[in-house]
Structure 1
Amino acid sequence: MKRISDYDTILNIYEDEITLKGSRFIGILMPCKTEEEIPVCLEKVSERYRNATHYCYAAVFNGSERKEKSSDNGEPSGTAGKPIQFMLKGSELSDVICIVVRYFGGTLLGTGGLVHAYSEASRIVLDKVSRHTRTACAVYRFTLDYGYYSTFESKCRDLMARNPQCDYSDKVDVKAWIRIDDDEDFVRRITDLTERHVMLKQSDDEYIEDAFVRK
């Protein structure tokens, strides 16, 4: 089974622009987790920047299992979507869309000029971003006797990406988020500390937003 991995994304919208021979190129970088969100993002931008000549874009989405889509939106083939996509790939961000809005200024830029303009409009907005890491975790559910729980907390704390979720009754039902890279170490530790008296149920891997910072 293919495992997910950590990746960087953004939480906010960023904008910047350049002017080249009278044409305005406005770069907008927005969160975009799925292909279905692309038209929603384009609609928001077109409502804000009405009557533009072109709304070109590139998107990288689907978390660490990156998928890509781009559009020249009427510009000559390969002069807009691909340059934006190239800049996005270089940033190593995912779940983002970069839309470059062009207002034509009356002077044709040629193929090289367009590639430069769309690349530069993407670059300057990417330079402004504050990165946010989504941490890939293995998710385990298990039940512990109270005698084992305090040992679990002390021995496995460094492997957990966030505080465990616990329900207390005659025993402790635990849901734990473990960083993917620490998965095997966690299974070994908890098996040893409970003297194999634990039944681990593993759920699908998840991304979490609020992982502990490693010390």
Structure 2
Amino acid sequence: MEEAYKILYRGGSGEITEKKSRFIADLKPVSSEEEALAFIEEIRKKYWDARHHCYVYRIGERSQTVRFSDDGEPAQTAGKPMLDVLAGRDIHDVCAVVTRYFGGTLLGTGGLVRAYSQAVQAGLENCLVVEKRPGVRLSVDTDYNSVGKIQYIAAQMGITALESAYTDRASFTYMVPEEQAEDFEAKLTEATAGRAVLHRSETVYYGLAEGELVLFEK
């Protein structure tokens, strides 16, 4: 069975100031290394006059692709702390770039670690993270006598209807969490005495973004 994982669904930016140095964090959803590198280059051009553009990207449901860079800062003071923030929140398919405008005062290794970490956290506050869950589309075709039972079971199990149609029979399409699919099908079959016709799709991914159900290609 596939597993759920969290992704950056909508990017955003945040900024902190530490001893007159500005740390600007920009985050964007990415699904490939090429997309991440293009975003990093975009930020470099946007803040062309800045001293550092440190970055990290974490791609894949098991973080198959992970890269980070200190971009001239002392080793382990920027990219790795930025990665630790994303890994700590278990966020995937994300690229974060923190741009630093030097303020004239050295921060030391501890100060840099804190600043780059806090910048990413500030950026995340303006982003939207969604849990990407495996599920199946289940189509249900039934007579009208069974409609109330089907809707009750779906409501009790917290299963969302994607669409419904009423002609000489009633039909529904549900997005069912993969781990609930067999139980849901069994309950519908029992409640309708086998009169409901069920058809399950292959596994798809979905999530809830600000209360709205969204579907993903993979």
The alignment status of 1:71 with 2:63, answered yes or no, reads no
Query: 1:50 maps to what in 2?
Result: 48
Would you say the 8 A contact 2:14–2:120 is kept in 1?
no
Residue 11 of structure 1 and its aligned partner are, at CA, apart by 2.3
- Structure 1 residues 96 and 158: CA distance shift in structure 2, 3 A: farther
The correspondence for 1:144, drawn from 138, 141, 144, is: 141
Letter in 1 for 2:192: T
Instruction: Give the SS at the match of 2:126.
Output: coil
TM-score by length of 1: 0.75
- How many residue pairs get aligned? The number is 208
Query: 1:83 maps to what in 2?
Result: 81
- Structure 1 residues 199 and 120: CA distance shift in structure 2, 3 A: closer
Structure 1 distance, partners of 2:69, 2:14, is 19
The alignment status of 1:164 with 2:162, answered yes or no, reads yes
- CA offsets per residue over residues 111-131 of structure 1, 9 Å max, x none? 4443333223223434x3364
The correspondence for 1:103, drawn from 89, 101, 104, is: 101
Tell me the C-alpha RMSD between the 2 structures: 3.2
Would you say the 8 A contact 1:138–1:202 is kept in 2?
no
Letter in 1 for 2:14: E
Would you say the 8 A contact 1:164–1:174 is kept in 2?
yes
Structure 1 distance, partners of 2:94, 2:8, is 7
Query: 1:208 maps to what in 2?
Result: 207
- Structure 1 residues 27 and 142: CA distance shift in structure 2, 3 A: closer
Deviates more, 1:79-88 or 1:164-173: 164-173
Query: 1:19 maps to what in 2?
Result: 18
Residue 172 of structure 1 and its aligned partner are, at CA, apart by 4.5
Residue 170 of structure 1 and its aligned partner are, at CA, apart by 5.1
- CA offsets per residue over residues 95-121 of structure 1, 9 Å max, x none? 332211123445655544433332232
- Structure 1 residues 145 and 24: CA distance shift in structure 2, 3 A: closer
The alignment status of 1:29 with 2:27, answered yes or no, reads yes
- Structure 1 residues 117 and 6: CA distance shift in structure 2, 3 A: closer
Query: 1:176 maps to what in 2?
Result: 174
Letter in 2 for 1:17: I
Letter in 2 for 1:4: E
Instruction: Give the SS at the match of 1:45.
Output: helix
Letter in 1 for 2:81: P
Instruction: Give the SS at the match of 1:116.
Output: helix
> Greater strand percent: which structure?
2
Letter in 1 for 2:36: I
Deviates more, 1:75-84 or 1:193-202: 193-202
Query: 1:193 maps to what in 2?
Result: 191
Instruction: Give the SS at the match of 1:164.
Output: strand
Instruction: Give the SS at the match of 2:160.
Output: coil
Query: 2:216 maps to what in 1?
Result: none
Residue 186 of structure 1 and its aligned partner are, at CA, apart by 1.0
Gaps of 5+ in 2: 214-218
- Structure 1 residues 125 and 86: CA distance shift in structure 2, 3 A: same
Query: 1:4 maps to what in 2?
Result: 3
Instruction: Give the SS at the match of 1:69.
Output: strand
